[in-house]
C-alpha cells in the first residue's frame, strides 16, 4: 500500500480549481524618518506593513511609494502561498515531462510570464501571475516544462504543451491580460 497516494491525489485536485492566487489585505503603518535620506524601506511586522519614508518626501511621493511597497508585499505574500515545486512536480508527472531542478517566483520578469533555462533545468515564474486563476498558472508551468524538452515554439513544442487540456483557453486569457504590452511566454 502506498500511503502517500491519497495525499498526492488531493494536491492534484487543487490544480484545476478556478481560485485566483489571492493577495490578502493588510494594514500599513508609515514612519517618516529624518535619519532616512533617500530610500524607502518596508518590512512586515505581523499583519502590519511598516513603511519608512524620508521626512522630506511630499505627500504625493509618499503615496506613490507606499502603493508600490503594498503591491510588492501583497505579491510576495500571495506567491508564498503557492508551492511551485510541488505544482511543477505534479504537472510533470501527469504530462510525462521532465521535473525542473528549480522553479521560483521572480519579481523582475516584466516582459515574459515565465522563463526556462534548459541548461540548468531552472524555471522562473513572473509574480505578475498573482491574481490569475490557477489553471492559467498551470499552463505557464507546463509551457516552461515543455521547454525542458524542446526549445523554440515549433509544432513539436505545441504537441507537448497541448497535453495540458486548458492550453488554448489559458493562451487566450494571457493575451487578454497582456493588452498592448508585448508580454509573452519565452
Q: Which of 80, 68, 23, 70 is nearest to 48 (CA)?
A: 70
Smaller CB distance to Zn ion: residue 82 or 115?
A: 115
CB-CB neighbours of 107 under 10 Å: 13
Q: In the bound complex, what is the minimum distance in angstroms from residue 115's beta carbon to Zn ion?
A: 9
Q: Which one of the spans 16-24, 69-77, 124-132, 177-185 is the region binding Zn ion (CB under 5 A)?
A: 177-185
Q: Which one of the spans 16-24, 37-45, 121-129, 178-186 is the region binding Zn ion (CB under 5 A)?
A: 178-186
Alpha carbons 132 and 79: distance in angstroms, whole number = 12
Q: In the bound complex, what is the minimum distance in angstroms from residue 110's beta carbon to Zn ion?
A: 16
Check residue 148 for interaction with Zn ion (CB under 5 A). no
For the residues of 15-33, what is the DSSP string, one character each? Answer: HT---B-PPPP-EEEEEEE
- Residue of closest CB approach to Zn ion: 185
Check residue 123 for interaction with Zn ion (CB under 5 A). no
Alpha carbons 48 and 82: distance in angstroms, whole number = 21
Smaller CB distance to Zn ion: residue 76 or 128?
A: 128
Check residue 145 for interaction with Zn ion (CB under 5 A). no
Alpha carbons 172 and 26: distance in angstroms, whole number = 32
8 A C-beta contact, residue 135 and residue 109: no
Smaller CB distance to Zn ion: residue 15 or 115?
A: 115
Check residue 185 for interaction with Zn ion (CB under 5 A). yes
Footprint of Zn ion (CB under 5 A): 185
Amino acid at each position: 500500500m502506498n500511503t502517500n497516494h491519497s495525499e498526492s491525489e488531493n494536491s492534484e485536485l487543487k490544480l484545476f480549481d478556478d481560485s485566483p492566487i489571492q493577495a490578502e489585505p493588510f494594514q500599513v503603518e508609515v514612519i517618516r524618518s529624518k535619519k532616512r535620506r533617500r530610500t524607502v524601506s518596508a518590512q512586515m511586522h505581523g499583519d502590519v506593513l511598516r513603511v519608512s519614508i524620508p521626512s522630506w518626501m511630499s505627500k504625493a511621493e509618499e503615496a506613490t511609494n507606499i502603493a508600490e511597497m503594498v503591491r510588492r508585499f501583497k505579491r510576495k505574500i500571495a506567491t508564498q502561498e503557492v508551492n511551485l515545486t510541488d505544482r511543477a512536480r505534479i504537472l510533470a508527472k501527469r504530462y510525462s515531462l521532465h521535473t525542473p531542478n528549480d522553479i521560483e517566483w521572480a519579481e523582475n520578469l516584466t516582459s515574459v510570464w515565465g522563463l526556462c533555462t534548459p541548461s540548468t533545468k531552472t524555471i522562473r515564474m513572473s509574480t505578475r501571475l498573482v491574481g490569475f486563476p490557477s489553471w492559467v498558472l498551470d499552463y505557464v508551468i507546463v509551457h516552461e516544462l515543455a521547454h525542458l524538452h524542446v526549445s523554440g515554439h515549433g509544432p513539436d513544442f505545441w504537441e507537448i504543451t497541448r497535453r495540458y487540456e486548458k492550453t488554448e483557453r489559458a493562451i487566450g486569457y494571457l493575451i487578454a491580460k497582456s493588452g498592448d504590452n508585448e508580454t509573452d511566454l519565452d
